[in-house]
Structure 1
Amino acid sequence: MERPPPLAAELVNEFVLKAHSDLNRVKELLAREPKLVNACWDWGGGDFETALGAAAHTGRREIAELLLDNGARMDIFAAAMLGHLDVVKAAITADPRAAKAPGPHGIPLLTHAKMGGEKATPVLEYLQSLG
């Protein structure tokens, strides 16, 4: 089976960067290249980030929801920011180490829950109860 060519690095970089704050540009880039939805940027030193990861640690719910609506893979960090307590609990129950695993840029899960604001309060309280 022949593999498709990789996405242009400049495009992936811009997409991940814009997912930190620019909903309109994320929409434009996603319309241009739908396969960007799960693309990952290597910041170096093992620091990999997807657009969903960027939206999650900056509390950009509308960007995260757009990405998920377009096929992004949910992860525990996005689930924490979005307030999906059931997903976070299930992941930590399955593997307690998930509570301490670092997200993109080494940002902790607890910080992602804080960035989710009021809708993520149950997740934040749950994570704080773990110590």
Structure 2
Amino acid sequence: MAESIKPELVKEFVYHAHGDFEKVKELLEQEPGLLHASWDWGGGDWETALGAAAHMGRRDIATYLLDRGARIDIFAAAMLGELAIVKAILEAHPDMINAKGPHTIPLIDHAKAGGDSALAVVKYLESLK
């Protein structure tokens, strides 16, 4: 059985994924298992590094993590402007339009964080309301 990752390291990794690309790279190189780790900020507010990057609009961090095998979700897909992925999920699970990501941030806010490259996703989500 693999050794557990120290909780302090998981917290640090997720924290820095909100905006410190160099630190994310350094920590992931140090401990590859962080890629799929998640941190509970309290009350069941679980967040991965990809989730942190997604709601902060950090395309650079998100694509870096995805290129290394992070598991994409609808929130990251929305921020990255991956309209086909967002549509496929919402067609299969329409109630996901109301899903909340880390820190209870709505799906549409993740798309808005993606800026111009996610504008098609924002328009699509707005059309469903």
Answer yes or no: same fold by TM over 0.5: yes
Aligned to 1:105: 103
Given the alignment, which residue of 77, 85, 90 partners 2:75? Answer: 77
With the length of structure 2 as denominator, give the TM-score of the two structures. 0.98
Aligned to 2:13: 15
Runs of 4 or more, structure 1, over 3 Å off, are: none
* Matches of 1:6 and 1:49, distance apart in 2: 18
- Residue 97 of structure 2 aligns with an amino acid whose one-letter code is A
**Alignment RMSD, CA only?**
0.6
Given the alignment, which residue of 26, 30, 33 partners 2:31? Answer: 33
With the length of structure 1 as denominator, give the TM-score of the two structures. 0.97
* Matches of 2:54 and 2:22, distance apart in 1: 17
Residue ranges of structure 2 left out of the alignment (5+ in a row): none
* Matches of 1:56 and 1:38, distance apart in 2: 15
1:24 paired to 2:36: no
Where 2:39 maps in the other structure, the secondary structure is strand
Aligned to 1:47: 45
Deviation track 1:8-33 (CA, whole Å, cap 9, x = no partner) reads 00100000000000000000001101
- Residue 5 of structure 2 aligns with an amino acid whose one-letter code is L
Deviation track 1:47-101 (CA, whole Å, cap 9, x = no partner) reads 0000000000000000000000111000000000000000000000000011111
Count of aligned residue pairs for this structure pair: 129
Residue ranges of structure 1 left out of the alignment (5+ in a row): none
